[in-house]
Chain A
């Protein structure tokens, strides 16, 4: 048989099992929801300790990043993530995991070019585009006359 790309593509789609979407979504919902609930508790804790809303939000981010980093270092995050999928990728704990895991992995290439450089191998794009988007938003605000001071 002479194979052409289109008919092979159809055949392989037929033969490749799809991801179990409803189950994946349910697990992502439960794990993601649970992490956010922990975040809510952490935020309440910091407010109870007397931090005002903005500071409490920053303290919550730092705490959640710490928890994500700790679980990564204890090899637990990868085990949770196998089931949770987006439920562990999307929360800020996943951002921490994406920074800590390459740092650990590339320690064998040294502290500067290994740990230091590879730290951002996954999270770098998030910072690059997130920060760029925020600057663009700031410039737009300026143009619209939202600027105060200078």
Chain B
């Protein structure tokens, strides 16, 4: 087993989160704005070919944070455009991220049926 790959995933993923924490604490940006920025930034970074090296280096450390969501959208689009042109520009992104989106929706509905919110203390 390659322990370095776990270490890389840990520190890169952790660093991305820590940077976002600075933005949340210092700029009063709401979490929703941070998330939107991350996804769009992920698309942009991948578009300029900057994110693939991070993914190669850190694996899940780069794909699990929401930047990775943008990365899969962009990667999906690039692949689909190469294969089917204009149509691909519309279908590629969602196809690339389809697993995560569909899972979130289905589990959202499912767990909403079985669980209910609890008061906090």
Contact = CB atoms under 8 A, between A and B. Distances in A.
Give yes or no for direct A-B contact (beta carbon below 8 Å): yes
Interface of A: 18-19, 21, 24-26, 28-43, 57-62, 64-66, 69-70, 72-75, 78, 84-87, 89-96, 98-101, 103-105, 107, 115-116, 119, 122-123, 125-127, 129-131, 133-135, 137-142, 146-150
Contact of A150 (B85, B105, B113): B85
A103 B100 CA distance: 17
A120 B77 CA distance: 23
Contacts of A107: 112-113, 116
Given A96-B107, A115-B108, 14 more contacts: A28-B18, A40-B6, A58-B100, A60-B63, A62-B99, A65-B103, A95-B69, A98-B35, A100-B111, A104-B115, A125-B32, A133-B43, A135-B90, A139-B89
A19 B39 CA distance: 25
A39 to B, nearest CB: 3
B4 to A, nearest CB: 11
Interface in B45-73: 47, 58-61, 63-66, 68-70, 72-73
A44 B76 CA distance: 21
Among B10, B80, B97, B112: residue with most chain A CB under 10 A: B112
Contacts, number: 303
Among A39, A41, A101: residue with most chain B CB under 10 A: A39
B10 A34 contact: yes
B109 A134 contact: no
Classify the interface of chain B: helix, strand, loop or mixed: helix
A40 B73 CA distance: 20
A99 to B, nearest CB: 4
Given A86-B21, A126-B66, A73 B77 contact: no
Contacts of B65: 32, 36, 90-92
B64 A130 contact: no
A125 B34 CA distance: 11
Given A36-B9, A96-B104, A25 B21 contact: yes
A73 to B, nearest CB: 4
Contacts of A104: 111-112, 115-117
A30 B10 CA distance: 8
15 contacts: A19-B25, A28-B21, A35-B13, A61-B103, A62-B100, A65-B100, A73-B114, A86-B17, A89-B31, A90-B38, A134-B77, A137-B74, A137-B78, A147-B81, A147-B86
Contact of A86 (B34, B103, B110): B34
Interface in B1-39: 5-6, 9-18, 20-26, 31-32, 34-36, 38-39
